[in-house]
A and B are shown apart, each in its own frame.
Chain A
Amino acid sequence: MTARIGVVTFPGSLDDKDALRAVRIAGAEPVSLWHRDTSLHQVDAIVLPGGFSYGDYLRCGAIARFSPVMQTILEQARAGMPVLGICNGFQVLCESHLLPGALTRNDHMHFVCRDQKLRVENADTAWTVDYSAGQEITVPLKNGEGGYVADERTLDELEAEGRVVFRYLDGNPNGSRRDIAGITNAAGNVVGLMPHPEHAVESLTGPTTEGLGFFTSAITTLKKMVHA
């Protein structure tokens, strides 16, 4: 059975099409989900894509969090469904409190757009099992509000529990505390990061194809879940 991976389109989402394409290239069946849907159309995993949902009004991700589709996703995420939030999707996951902390304006105030080297710190999450711990990958990064912040106690907990999934290498692009690029929840099924793996799945258009592993990891994870 082919895994069905849903990608949510909010008004203002930009990278939903690239995320659907990445899902297809990885070998899963891509399913478009609309922000007003309350049904997830029998998908096995969810990607919340990058962009500027609801115009980034109020705060990035703050309004998307209360959309109809998110209410169902919150329930499913708590029940163990793999959920990946990329960039604006990461902001939505933090606003939803599925992940701790928040994303704030880049410390240097500039929008950053570049190919970014990352280290995979945790290769046991639903979205990273096809990587190895310590592996270095390069994928695009593009954000204006990507500075990850949380209080010191939360940061210490994330570190102690191995929930820092990705760290920026060769310079911190946005002032994120402890060079954190992505984190996971305690169960490892919900992952959020600012960089864009869905833009690095084909050599024609990406700097590398090292982002593909996110989507193949989800497929690997779903196969294990079925057999478990």
Chain B
Amino acid sequence: MARVVVDVMLKPEILDPQGQAVQRALPRLGFEGIADVRQGKRFELEVEGPVDDAALARINELAETFLANTVIEDFTVRVEELEEETATA
């Protein structure tokens, strides 16, 4: 089985109060030098069958219609090499 990862992030121009709250907490915890934090979502899809162009096109469609709201969010789709595969490769 192949894994496809969809990352969803708020568009740069959309305010991210959650990311801001995380960023503001950092100095209190002793972590200095982080100028900005933006928080997003990561989806890991375990795909049955080959991840060919047709499968990726379907996943792009599902990301665009469902996983992300493209009014306020951007998304990326990438195929992830699974660890056991890379170990045997």
Interface 1/0 per residue, A140-166 and B, CB below 8 Å = 000000010111000000000000000
Name which of A2-10, A36-44, A97-105, A184-192 contacts chain B.
A97-105
How far does the Cβ of A151 sit from chain B's closest Cβ, in whole Å? Answer: 8
CB within 8 A of B69: which of A102, A106, A175? A102
A66 sits at the interface (CB 8 A)? yes
Kindly supply a per-residue 1/0 record for chain B positions 1-25, scoring 1 wherever the CB is within 8 Å of any chain A CB and 0 otherwise.
Answer: 0000000001001110110010000
Instruction: Sort A-B residue pairs by CB-CB distance and give the 3 closest, nearest first.
Output: A102-B71, A102-B72, A109-B17
User: CA of A101 to CA of B70 in the docked complex: distance in angstroms?
Assistant: 10
In the complex, chain A residues whose CB is within 8 Å of the CB of B17: 105-109, 175
Could you tell me how many residues of chain A have their Cβ less than 8 Å away from some Cβ of chain B? 20
Interface secondary structure of A, over-half rule = loop
Distance in angstroms between the alpha carbons of A147 and B18 in the assembled complex: 13
What are 14 A-B residue pairs whose CB atoms fall within 8 Å in the complex? A66-B66, A102-B69, A102-B71, A104-B10, A106-B17, A107-B15, A107-B17, A109-B17, A109-B18, A109-B21, A149-B14, A149-B15, A151-B13, A175-B15
Q: A94-B71, A109-B21, A150-B71 are in contact. Are A104 and B66 (CB under 8 A)?
A: no
